[in-house]
């Protein structure tokens, strides 16, 4: 089981980075996983086109929460274009483990939330 719940994943789960919410964020989005009810919310503040501050909140399993925590570190300082370019593979690489089709939904939930927020950013 150590191969799956690797130390860095458990570390992010036990000591989440950038947890919380931001008032008046430029990108705010929340989504759930209908299979299990896990919820992730991301608040992103932009400054000169780059992510200057980011917070995540929500509840879920080790994989979805660790993925959210890692994603906040990953996207800090990135431009909106760089955020838009993020792929599923980037998340898998970040987690460093192979996820089956069911657990992939847990791991990808934070990225889906970010993508949902970015889509709305494009509308305004």
Binding site for another protein (CB under 8 A): 1, 4-5, 10, 34-38, 59-63, 103, 106
Nearer to another protein, 45 or 103 (CB): 103
Nearer to another protein, 46 or 61 (CB): 61
Shortest Å, Cβ 70 to another protein: 16
Shortest Å, Cβ 62 to another protein: 5
Residue 100: strand pairing partners? none
Shortest Å, Cβ 37 to another protein: 5
Shortest Å, Cβ 55 to another protein: 21
Longest dimension (CA), the chain: 45
Nearer to another protein, 99 or 113 (CB): 99
Nearer to another protein, 44 or 66 (CB): 66
């Amino acid at each position: 089981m150590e191969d799956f719940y690797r130390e860095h994943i458990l570390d992010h789960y036990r000591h989440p980075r950038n947890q919380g919410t931001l008032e008046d964020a430029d990108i705010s989005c929340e989504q759930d996983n209908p299979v299990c009810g896990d919820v992730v919310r991301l608040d992103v503040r932009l400054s000169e086109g780059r992510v200057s501050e980011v917070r995540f909140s929500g509840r879920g399993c080790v994989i979805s929460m660790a993925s959210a925590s890692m994603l906040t570190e990953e996207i800090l300082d990135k431009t909106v274009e760089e955020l838009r370019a993020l792929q599923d593979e980037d998340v898998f690489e970040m987690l460093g483990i192979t996820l089956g089709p069911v657990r992939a939904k847990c791991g990808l939930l934070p990225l889906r939330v970010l993508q949902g927020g970015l889509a709305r950013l494009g509308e305004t």
